[in-house]
Amino acid sequence: MRALAVIATIIFVVFPFAMIYAAVSDIFSMTIANRVSILLIGTFLVVAPFIGLSWSDFGSHLMAFAFVLSITFAMFALGAMGGGDAKLLASTALWMGFSVHLWNYILMSAVAGGVLAILILILRKTSMSVYAGELPVLRTVIDAKGIPYGAALAVGGLFAFPDSPAMVYALNYFAN
């Protein structure tokens, strides 16, 4: 029984902190370390047997990962997306599975990414960009060619996570 409490706690901690770390890392350095995606994948594979997924549900999660990874790597190859963003999106898809949760994640990430892109483009075109020299975070975002989309992926992931199968398991465990 104690092992199940550990599993539920891991679910509560790892996914949200990995998403927050990815967002902050992307904003500060325009990179998302491979260890974030590896942590998300490894943690899901460890907790999946304990959260009551059937084999077909587990297969759905693996299919979501493979499907999203193939699309995002094609986008990376075309220069439309960063490699860290592609891996983060796919490793998060593993947690969501092929379900409405995945589509909620993608939709919220797209909306957050659109808002983020508009704000950054406005900031880059205004005189505010001159004053950003003293703030390393703003300077990195203004000087970079791209958008730190990891922040948008984190917003989408944190929005969709409460309804994901793993989080539903963890909430039900602590509710009982």
DSSP 128-148: HHHHGGG-HHHHHHHHSSS--
How many Cα neighbours within 13 Å face the side chain of 115? 10
Which tens digits make up the pLDDT trace of 65-103?
999 999 999 999 999 999 999 999 999 999 999 999 999
Which tokens is 70 given?
Answer: 């193939």
- The helix (H) or strand (E) run that includes residue 176 is none
174 or 138, which is more confident? 174
Q: How much is the pLDDT for 136?
A: 67
Which tokens is 46 given?
Answer: 């460890």
Average pLDDT over residues 118-123: 84
Task: Report the alpha-carbon distance of residue 70 to residue 141 in Å, rounded.
Answer: 28
Q: What is the pTM of this model?
A: 0.89
